[in-house]
């Protein structure tokens, strides 16, 4: 299952929600998709099972992609992989259209772990998250991720804010298009710099809108949504 279509050429806005309350604010303020997680202090971990079940009731209003990340590390253990496989299956069973993962080893995607996890959650639209910022050979990694069935990659180009890495993002947007992967820009994206980030060629934006659990700023989501709805310049 994949997200529904947007008007041709219109950028998509994904908002990171650390709680169901945040998700509700994001929906009302104009988000196109939600990444659902918890633990902002860890840059996002898998939501509790009860919250995943409750969030599934929002799917008639907006696509939601839960993050599948058991702990605050990009390196995974055998136990982590088992957890991720089970959680991917649960996410699919609950009807979510997508999920978010990201595992590294030696500054490259953990190809072995990905090969175990990705066959689970059949039909999910999978995003590889900002662990990608640390990958040494990013263009080659885009090709490898596409071959494994990853649909999109979230990145700021390199560590830091997306707005500070326009050349890297532009090069990656081109490489992603060639590889058949959607490139989504995230990392410090806000209403003030979103238009500049879109000029790099990315067509999806990811933002936390100042949010931690229960503190998502509706005004910031609306500002980002307005940028995405403006005609391209």
Q: Closest Cα to residue 188, out of 158, 213, 218?
A: 158
3-state helix, strand, coil in the chain (%, to 5): 40, 20, 40
Tokens of 109: 């995607």
Full-model pTM: 0.94
The CATH H-level superfamily of 12-228 is: Copper homeostasis (CutC) domain (3.20.20.380)
Tokens of 229: 């709805």
Which pLDDT belongs to residue 9? 79
The Cα–Cα gap between 6 and 32 comes to 9
Kindly give the interhelix angle for 166-179 and 138-148, rounded to the nearest 10 degrees: 30
Q: Closest Cα to residue 130, out of 154, 152, 114?
A: 154
pLDDT tens-digit profile, the chain (233 residues): 445 566 667 999 999 999 999 999 999 999 999 999 999 999 999 999 999 999 999 999 999 999 999 999 999 999 999 999 999 999 999 999 999 999 999 999 999 999 999 999 999 999 999 999 999 999 999 999 999 999 999 999 999 999 999 999 999 999 999 999 999 999 999 999 999 999 999 999 999 997 665 589 999 999 999 999 987 66
């Amino acid at each position: 299952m994949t997200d529904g279509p947007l008007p041709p050429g219109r950028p998509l806005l994904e908002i990171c929600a650390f709680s169901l309350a945040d998700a509700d604010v994001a929906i009302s303020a104009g988000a196109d998709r939600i990444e659902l997680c918890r633990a902002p202090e860890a840059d996002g971990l898998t939501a509790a099972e009860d919250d995943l079940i409750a969030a599934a009731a929002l799917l008639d209003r907006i696509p939601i992609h839960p993050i599948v990340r058991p702990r605050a590390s990009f390196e995974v253990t055998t136990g982590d992989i088992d957890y991720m496989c089970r959680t991917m299956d649960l996410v699919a069973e609950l009807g979510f259209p997508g999920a978010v993962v990201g595992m590294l080893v030696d500054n490259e995607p953990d190809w072995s772990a990905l090969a175990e996890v990705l066959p689970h959650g059949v039909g999910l639209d999978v995003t590889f998250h900002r662990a990608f910022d640390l990958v040494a050979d990013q263009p080659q990694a885009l090709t490898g991720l596409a071959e494994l069935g990853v649909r999109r990659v979230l990145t700021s180009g390199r560590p830091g804010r997306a707005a500070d890495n326009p050349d890297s993002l532009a090069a990656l947007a081109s490489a992603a298009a060639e590889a058949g992967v959607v490139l989504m820009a995230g990392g410090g994206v806000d209403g003030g710099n979103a238009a500049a980030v879109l000029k790099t060629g990315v067509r999806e934006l990811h933002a936390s809108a100042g949010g931690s659990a229960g503190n998502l700023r509706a005004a910031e989501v609306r500002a980002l949504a307005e940028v995405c709805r403006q005609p391209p310049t």
